[in-house]
Structure 1
Amino acid sequence: MSVRLNAGVALLAALAMSSTAFAHGEGHASRRLELSSERHPWGQQGDPAKATRTVRVDMDDRMRFVPDRLEVRQGETVRFVVRNRGQVLHEMVIGTRDALESHAELMRKHPGMEHDEPYMAHVGPGQRGEIVWTFTEPGEYFYGCLVPGHWEAGMKGRIVVRP
């Protein structure tokens, strides 16, 4: 009886740990097998088979993105390959300036908050993540790391979407 109970506890612990990993990075790619139809002012999840180019974005503990400025065309689907060259968790989140600043404030208030959307990649030290995004509207958008303190330290970039 105690062996079964211990095995059940171990299984529950493993499931709990896997859901945390899913929410913050390494496991999130599997969620993207089914495309979301949710639209945002800055676009919508892109179909990887329709990506017209790949943009490599590096993050590091200097709290910077390289590159920190991008230009895309309206309707373009971009595959972002995001590499964390630092020693701490970083993320790339795409949005409007207001959306990112609001989200950064929420993250300061709730630093353990779990979230996972197609416009974000949570990347552990030495790891890489991916975002495939279609920019549906012209304008100026941003990307940033919303780990508490990182946005405020200047970890942000700009995306200009041309018609």
Structure 2
Amino acid sequence: MNPIRRRTLSLLALAPLAGLAPHLAIAHGENHGSGAAAGPVVKEQKPWGIAADAKEARRSIEIRMTDDMRFTPSHIDVREGDIVRLRAVNNGKVMHEIVIGTPEELKAHADLMKKHPDMEHEEPYMAHVSPGQRGDVVWHFNRPGDFEFACLIPGHFEAGMRGTIRVKPRA
């Protein structure tokens, strides 16, 4: 992601506190394709891990998304150090997404999405998936803990479209 876009997204995350959100909102939603990455992977350490290149994945987990606002499976166990391809498959008729994060960050982002449903964002820990398509998130789970994944499209998160990830410490 280019520095200007990153700065804009950072400001957007803080915008509700400063009353700037209406001036920073940009498009999100129906214009996303199959969830394919648009450029090189940005590797920024997050509490739940760091992005990885697709060729590094040693395990794939298919997560199905449906219009009953559920993920299947809704719980994933991985080990600290695992590099996993989360393949999100949209079996529904509406746009869905998968976003990894802490419960607090996902809730805050979902609240922001309700206020700005046309907001656009592309981060390596999310995939926007059109109906009948699939998208991948390739992630290096390099920190143990309990994390979540969710669909943050307005109404989906509130309807319970969430799942959990347990990253078990190395033995």
CA separation in 2, counterparts of 1:27 and 1:21? 11
* 8 A contact 1:23–1:114 mirrored in 2: no
Match of 1:144 among 129, 139, 150: 150
| Structure 1 or 2: more helix by fraction | 1
Mapped to 1, the partners of 2:96 and 2:30 lie a distance apart of 15
CA distance in 2, matches of 1:62, 1:73: 30
CA distance, structure 2, for counterparts of residue 122 and residue 94 of structure 1 = 12
Cα contact 1:121–1:129 (8 A) shared by 2: yes
Tell me what 1:24 maps to: 32
State the match for 1:12 in structure 2: none
Q: Which of the residues 75, 83, 102 maps onto 2:81?
A: 75
Residue 37 of structure 1: how far off its partner (Å): 2.3
Q: Whole-Å Cα distance in 2 between the matches of residues 141 and 62 of structure 1?
A: 22
Whether the 8 Å contact between 1:24 and 1:115 is mirrored in structure 2 is: no
What code does the residue aligned with 1:24 have? H
SS in 1 for 2:38: helix
Cα 1:22–1:76 shift into 2, 3 Å: farther
Could you tell me which amino acid in structure 2 is paired with residue 45 of structure 1? A
Tell me, in whole angstroms, the C-alpha distance in 2 between the residues paired with 1:89 and 1:24.
Answer: 9
Kindly state the Cα deviation for residue 46 of structure 1 after the two structures are TM-superposed. 1.1
Residue by residue over 1:52-107, the C-alpha shift from the partner in whole angstroms, topping out at 9 and shown as x without a partner, is 10000000000000000000011110001111000100000000000100000000
Unaligned runs of 5+ in 2: 1-26
Structure 1 CA distance for aligned equivalents of residues 121 and 162 of structure 2: 19
| Consecutive aligned runs of 4 or more in structure 1 exceeding 6 Å deviation | 19-23
Match of 1:109 in 2: 115
Unaligned runs of 5+ in 1: 1-18
* Matched position secondary structure for 1:158: strand
RMSD (Å) for aligned C-alpha atoms? 1.9
Structure of larger gyration radius? 1
Using the size of structure 1 for normalisation, the TM-score is 0.82
Query: Which residue of structure 2 aligns with residue 5 of structure 1?
Result: none
Q: CA deviation at 1:21?
A: 8.4
Q: Per the alignment, in what secondary structure is the counterpart of residue 29 of structure 1?
A: coil
| C-alpha distance 99-127 of structure 1, shift in aligned 2 (>3 A) | same
Secondary structure of 1:111's partner?
coil
